[in-house]
Structure 1
Amino acid sequence: MNRILIIALMAFMPFVISCNSGNKKSEKETASNDVWEVDFFDDFDTFNPDNWQDQRIWVNNEEQCYVPDGEYGTREVSDGTLKIKVVNIGEKIDCDNMDKHGNQHPETQYVAGRIVTKNRKEFVKGKWTARLRLHGNGEASMFPAWWILGARNNEPPVQEADENVCWPLTGSGEIDIFEHHGDHQKDKYTTGAIKSLGECDKGDWRSLRTDIPATLNEYHEYSVEWEGSDLVFRLDGKEVHRNVGQGDEYPEPMFAILNYAKITDSPMEGEWVMEVDWVKHESRK
């Protein structure tokens, strides 16, 4: 009787081991899955000044003048979305935008919107995502962008004592989540980090970035997340680019930027629009 019982138990043991092994594997897989917690979300039912402020700045020799408070319709919230625009107003006006060296933007007939979460919503690492689309794409001079920047950046507006770090040094590093260059990128966008060359105003714009095909006039989710030491760039949740080892280069709090620029002097008529459904930041639990 005992021998029969032992034989029966031995026959049953592989099933028990198999079941236990499966459970352990599931537990391990569950433990390795990312669990995200949303700590900032704006779905643009209105323009919330607790989340965003206008940024009036002259960079990259851009042709447009950034204007505040949605002047000329450059920043509009309606029907549950944000519209950031470049507008040709048909006559040149004075522009008060300054670069960080104190130079003033020349007169221009192009005005635009640029908003930032600077000194409102700033986060260390995690995951930034925006759902957005362009109205049209591929026209010369188009330069819309969704990106993040180190919170100690020394470009206007300088509002806190520690905002004294020159781009793109640590504390003022740049990561471009979505950037469209209309002159040569119809149905494409650029994504990736800017590599710091260790000196003020010295950045490698290209080596860490890549071009991704996309139907830009349809809504997509554009994101970047820190995964260990890597930066992972996703389109609609699918990985499309990875900057291996670059995540450690951005230990600082960063703020988000949504802007639409006109990068060259090619003529434009009417307005260009980037429509944003929502923006969020998540942290790992």
Structure 2
Amino acid sequence: MKNTASIKLLFSLFLFCQFGFAQVDVVYSDLVWSDEFNTNGAVDSNKWFHQTQLPSGGSWFNGELQHYTNLITNSFVNAGMLNIVAKNESYTDQGITKQYTSARLNSKFAFKYGRVDVRAKLPIDAGTWPAIWMLGKNVNEPGGYFSSTFGTTDWPACGEIDIMEHGIFPSQSINYIQSTLHTPSSFGGSVNNGGTIASDLANSYHVYSLNWSPFQLTFLLDGVPYYTYNPAVKNASTWPFDLEQFLLLNVAMGGVAGTVPSSFTQASMQIDYVRVYQNTTVDTQAPLNFTASIGNVTSTSIELLLNATDNSGTVGYNVSYGTASNNYSGTSGVQKSIVISGLNPNTNYSFTVTASDLAGNTASNNPIFLSATTLPNSTLICSGISNLAQQGSFSTGYNYEFQTNNGNEVKITYGLLDTDKVGVVAFLWKQTPFSEVQMTNVSGNVFTHTLTNQTIGSTINYGVKFAFAGGMSVTNYYSYVVGSACSMGVAAFSELNSISFPNPVTDSININSNISIDKVEIYNLLGIKVLEQNLETDKIDVTHLQPGVYLIIMYLGSEKIVKKIIIR
């Protein structure tokens, strides 16, 4: 059914299509492992292992209903196709009787980095859950092929890569497929996923692909990328994908796939081939012409412009500053823009940048040192500390800060003060309509995210979900008025908001207040402080200030309010 010449030609065309999409960062071209399913009968035992041992408790995960068997009626090769067949039949194994059987195959091959292509046709019957996926070789899962020798790590710390799943998305089209990553930072109902609509899954074969590099994971349908996972911070919590993984093929029944109709008899996932590609040629040539410079600088970000050439076509860059260190991929000879965000205004930052290729060869002029100072900001800041939670609880609490920058951007920063949480990641929650986005780790357990294109004077409401090993805690929602004052759910703010003064003013600001303000600061619109005064009187002399628009900040204890004032 297949021949190597046609495979190589089709693969070359496929590579060309992939390279045309920027989401694929490294092109892998050498076939290192495959099964073309050309021999009828039982599955090749040199390549595949039937995983049949039930987990503790006697049932597979997610409420599934099937026994996985090594019966040839559940997995066999015929006419160049692997058939994984889920059947409605009573079957007793390990002392437990179930009403459905299927097969779950582990590859006896494990690898780190490369591309996986699986050409398959899927069952779309109600209650079926076909999957093409991967687990870390180190997963501690009794009954798996590698577990007895390498099983040192519990799920999800081993990492799970779901290349393709179908049948567990009831709100989506029947032709919807999805890819998902499960890591300590997001598992179960992981937020790290992306999907797409295929054409006629029931009757058509499609190629489901994963392109896995040291920098990112990209998922493709028929050569077209539709989802890339590339966390800003890669650590054991977000990126357990730096160790070998193996492949799994299975069809589950029921559970999260929904009720199996009483009329169900059997359904098959048919697989034409499974292929794994890597780059096997020994590379001894280091990157050349490595340059690094500073690009655009704002009050909260610094752009680094990097470039180098390498015979492999891909250059890896490492950028370190403070305690942070992150890796990025770039195309040989093409300038790479890296924006370091979440920085403090009017602060000098030093960066150490190196260039290397995937074989570990390093540029001769490594490292290059860069430094830049962020711009002053508008000082439109509201902040506070709390231990209030809408879900879970906090042992100590958290601090929060909302800051308007560059006219219509709002930088939101939350820091978890609890010291008993490990593997912490943060997700910014928008109250209405609800949405969730992963925040960038600044340092320790401090996280930030910048909202763009906000409307000055509008009120936004956000909270944060801190996820960590063993659970999560979610802060209250806090309100912030973009570009002016804030109302953070703290009583002091209602008192501060009651302060008034004539506006515009000429020689002095006469403050009307029923409370004692601790201090006043005035900033120009460049973010430069032009006046600071401990308030012992209700009058502030501004005769020395030039006419124009200013921002006045009034402090009461740890709280503050920002208002605009015009001086004539």
After TM superposition, the score normalised by the length of structure 2 is 0.39
CA contact (8 A) 1:195 1:204 kept: no
Partner of 2:501: none
| SS across alignment from 1:93 | strand
| Cα distance per residue 1:214-266 (max 9 Å; x no partner) | 12121111011124511100111111111113694301111000000002343
- Note if contact 2:26-2:213 (Cα within 8 Å) is conserved in structure 1: no
Query: How far apart, in 2, do the equivalents of 1:166 and 1:231 lie?
Result: 22
The equivalent of 1:6 in structure 2 is none
Assess, with a 3 A threshold, how the Cα gap between structure 1 residues 110 and 204 changes in structure 2: closer, same or farther.
closer
Among 63, 66, 74, the alignment partner of 1:64 is 66
Do the aligned partners of residues 35 and 107 (structure 1) sit closer, same or farther apart at CA in structure 2, a change above 3 Å counting? closer
More helix by share: 1
Alignment partner, residue 209 of structure 2: 223
Matched, 1:253 2:255: no
Q: What is the one-letter code of the residue matched to 2:38?
A: D
* Distance of aligned partners of 1:192 and 1:41 in 2 relative to their CA distance in 1, 3 Å threshold: same
Is the 2:67–2:91 Cα contact (8 Å) retained in structure 1? Answer: no
Query: Which residue in 1 is equivalent to 2:110?
Result: 122
- Counterpart pick for 2:36 among 34, 43, 52: 43
1:112 correspondence with 2:102: yes
Which residue is 1:154 aligned to?
Answer: 140
Contact 1:95/1:107 (8 A) holds in 2: yes
Whole-angstrom distance in 1 between the partners of 2:26 and 2:162: 26
State the percentage of identical aligned residues: 26
Cα distance in structure 2, aligned partners of 1:35 and 1:128? 10
CA distance in 1: counterparts of 2:50 and 2:149, whole angstroms: 20
Distance in 1 between the 2:214 and 2:245 partners?
17
Structure 1 partner of 2:272: 277
**Structure 1 residue 60, shift from structure 2 partner:** 2.2
> Secondary structure, in 3 states, of the residue corresponding to 1:157?
coil
Tell me the distance in 2 between the aligned counterparts of 1:129 and 1:33.
Answer: 15
Contact 2:140 2:154 in 1 (8 A): yes
Q: Which amino acid aligns with 2:93?
A: C
Letter in 1 for 2:150: D
Q: Which residue of 2 aligns with 1:178?
A: 164
Match in the other structure for 1:168: 156
Report what 1:266 is aligned to: 260
Aligned counterpart for 1:206 among listed residues 187, 190, 195:
190
- Give the deviation of 1:204 after TM superposition: 4.2
Root mean square deviation of aligned Cα: 2.2
Aligned residue type for 1:256: L
Worse-superposed segment, 56-65 or 241-250:
241-250
User: What residue ranges of structure 2 are gaps of 5+ in the alignment?
Assistant: 1-24, 55-59, 281-568
Partner of 1:87: 87
> Could you tell me which amino acid in structure 1 is paired with residue 265 of structure 2?
G
> Are 2:151 and 1:145 equivalent residues in the alignment?
no
**Counterparts in 2 of 1:68 and 1:234: CA distance versus 1, 3 Å:** same
Note the residue ranges of structure 1 that are not aligned, 5 or more in a row.
Answer: 1-31, 97-103
Counterpart in the other structure of 1:15: none
For 1:95, the aligned partner's letter is D
Structure 2 Cα separation of the partners of residues 49 and 227 of structure 1: 29
Larger of the two Rg values belongs to structure: 2
Does the aligned pair in 2 maintain the 1:191–1:210 contact within 8 Å?
yes
| Cα displacement (A) at 1:154 | 1.2
CA distance in 2, matches of 1:157, 1:93: 19
Q: Is the 8 A contact 2:28 2:277 kept in 1?
A: no
Asked if the contact 1:140–1:183 (Cα under 8 Å) also holds between the matched residues in 2, the reply is no
Distance apart, 1:34 and its partner CA: 2.6
Higher relative contact order (CA closer than 8 Å, sequence separation 6+):
1
Cα pair 1:192 1:241 within 8 Å, conserved: no
Tell me the alpha carbon deviations over residues 181-211 of structure 1, each in whole angstroms, 9 at most, x when there is no partner: 25614111111311323xxxx8243311122
2:128/2:260 contact within 8 Å kept: no
Secondary structure at the counterpart of residue 257 of structure 1: strand
Q: Could you say which residue in structure 1 is the equivalent of 2:385?
A: none
Contact 1:192–1:243 (CA under 8 A) maintained in structure 2: no
**1:55–1:156: 8 Å Cα contact kept in structure 2?**
no
- The corresponding residue for 2:451 is none
Distance, in Å, in 1 between the alignment partners of 2:230 and 2:88 is: 41
SS of aligned partner of 2:64: coil
* Separation (CA, whole Å) in 2 of partners of 1:35 and 1:95: 42
- Aligned-partner Cα distance in 2 for 1:35–1:248: 21
TM-score by structure 1 length?
Answer: 0.75
